[in-house]
Amino acid sequence: MTVCYPDLKLRIDGEWLGAGTRRRHQVINPATGTTLGELPLVQGADLDRALEAADRGFQVWRRATADERARVLKKAADLIRERIDYIATIATLEEGKTLAETRIEAAATANLFEFYAEELRRTYGRVLVRPTGTRSLVMKEPVGPVAAFAPWNFPIANPGRKLGAPIAAGCSVILKPAEEAPGSALEVVRALVDAGVPSGVVQLVFGVPDEVSRHLLGSSIIRQLSFTGSTAVGKHLLALSANTAKRTTMELGGHAPVIVFDDADLTRTIDLLTMAKTRNAGQVCVAPTRFYVQDGIYDRFIRAFTERLAGINIGDGLLASSQMGPMANPRRPAAMERFIDDATARGARLLTGGEPEVRKGFFWKPTLLTEVPVDARIMNEEPFGPVAVVAPFSSLEEAIAHANRLPYGLAAYAFTESAKRAMLIGDAIEAGMVGINIVVMAAADAPFGGVKESGHGSEDGPEGLQECLVTKTIHHA
Ligand code: NAD
């Protein structure tokens, strides 16, 4: 397929900026290892200009009417839908996941913008009861310029999440998406620019991540940090934000447990879990990782799951025949190898996969491990890849103890036909999101986020808008 890959640019203070004398980063197609384009990286002066523009942009946008903000978000949603084939193809080229997946991502981003175009009208305050002639008003105001860092695993939806709620709230944003997948983020920003977002409201920057985050988070212009990525990087950015006491929304790593009870509908459960484990080659923060299966169906589950994972058709995400694309960058297959070697050296059994798919690009075969000791790295660190670890359990209490063992608390899943068990498990699990007989965790109107070391705050839903607002109380005598 011939696709016109976008000319990669920065967007600062209403201007698209090319490479000029700036440093460049090679963007690689993970399915072939070939170069897609050259990305300009910001210099310090660019970031200073972005900060000044964001400061000015905020003063304009905070005063815009609800109609003006809603019009921009609605129009951008329409443009993303019109351009869906192009945007989805760019994302597949850059990140590797299948076209079916990137189309869903683009559609979800349009839905999110549309949801916030409506939700922004419900930024209500309160009037408190006071003696006649006096008032106390509780006001909600936009927090201010936001520094947002989006990772590569959802190249369209992550930038969309970082922009939708702040723009709805009346904030300006400096967005630094991942350097691995810049074209998709650029197209999301282009939709907003074409929809008429005023200059200075959205800046798009790329650079050396640590340089950019230190520069932006060191500035008192930035009032809010919004980060999605690993727990380790998240803690580092929280420390940088502490100096200026910024507000933070942190969507960090996960290690999702799945509890499959004896009474689960096995065929449907395996269908859903195969899809969830291989979606985006497992590079999803809510991907199921530790599968705890009750004794009575353990053997049948293992047989069926092994067969399904082994049968996944791996290939270039642009091909309709591919069910799973490559991993996003060469770091990921290397990490899979280390996790699997560590587990098997400690006595784990490898039932399928465990090796790269031999072809160009960064492909890894869906892998299933059993009998993995609890101290193996993969039982404790986020694998972020298509590797499943399955272990048996007997009682509900035992399953809950396994599920809650780690410091992570992002997503968790349970499969059962018993309403009572579903209720108990929903209450007992320490996670920001629990899926009972379902694996889809994201929707425009539903809060998305974790607890414990998986972060704090929410994206999406009314809660995502609240993250971008601060409270002011005005007392009138
Ligand atoms: P990484 O931790 O180096 O990077 C993760 C993301 O954070 C990337 O987008 C990167 O550009 C950004 N980042 C890294 N250092 C930064 C800094 N100092 N300032 C600002 N941004 C910074 O790891 P990686 O190899 O790119 O990805 C692998 C790991 O990242 C995975 O193991 C997974 O835990 C995590 N990850 C999580 C998510 C998520 O949705 N929660 C998404 C992508 C990656």
Percent of the chain predicted with pLDDT > 70: 99
Give nearest CA residue, ligand 1 atom 42: 229
Predicted confidence (pLDDT) per residue in 132-142, tens digit:
999 999 999 99
Catalytic residue among 94, 95, 105, 251: 251
Q: Are 410 and 286 in contact (CB under 8 A)?
A: yes
Q: What pLDDT, on a 0 to 100 scale, did the predictor assign at position 113? A: 99
Asked whether residue 30 carries a pLDDT value surpassing 60, the answer given is yes
Give nearest CA residue, ligand 1 atom 1: 230
Give nearest CA residue, ligand 1 atom 33: 230
Asked whether residue 190 carries a pLDDT value surpassing 90, the answer given is yes
Q: What pLDDT, on a 0 to 100 scale, did the predictor assign at position 2? A: 56
Q: Are 317 and 102 in contact (CB under 8 A)?
A: yes
Q: Which 3 state secondary structure label does DSSP give 462?
A: helix
CA distance 464 to 451: 15
Q: What pLDDT, on a 0 to 100 scale, did the predictor assign at position 180? A: 97
Predicted confidence (pLDDT) per residue in 320-361, tens digit:
999 999 999 999 999 999 999 999 999 999 999 999 998 899
**Is 459 designated active site?**
no
- 150 Cα nearest atom in ligand 1: 9
Residue 165 tokens read as 């709620």
- Residues in contact with ligand 1 by the CB-under-6-Å rule are 149, 151-153, 178, 209-210, 213, 228-230, 233, 236-237, 251-253, 285, 331, 382, 384
pTM of the full predicted structure? 0.97
| C-alpha 209 to ligand 1 mean position (Å) | 10
Q: What pLDDT, on a 0 to 100 scale, did the predictor assign at position 3? A: 67
Q: Among 146, 214, 233, which residue has the most ligand 1 atoms within 8 Å of its CB, making it the best to mutate?
A: 233
Max CA separation in the chain (angstroms):
78
Q: Are 448 and 442 in contact (CB under 8 A)?
A: yes
Dihedral sign from CA coordinates of 5, 78, 225, 461:
negative
| C-alpha 230 to ligand 1 mean position (Å) | 5
Q: Are 138 and 165 in contact (CB under 8 A)?
A: no
SS3 content of the chain, % helix, strand, coil (to 5): 40, 20, 40
Mean pLDDT of 401-429: 98
| C-alpha 150 to ligand 1 mean position (Å) | 9
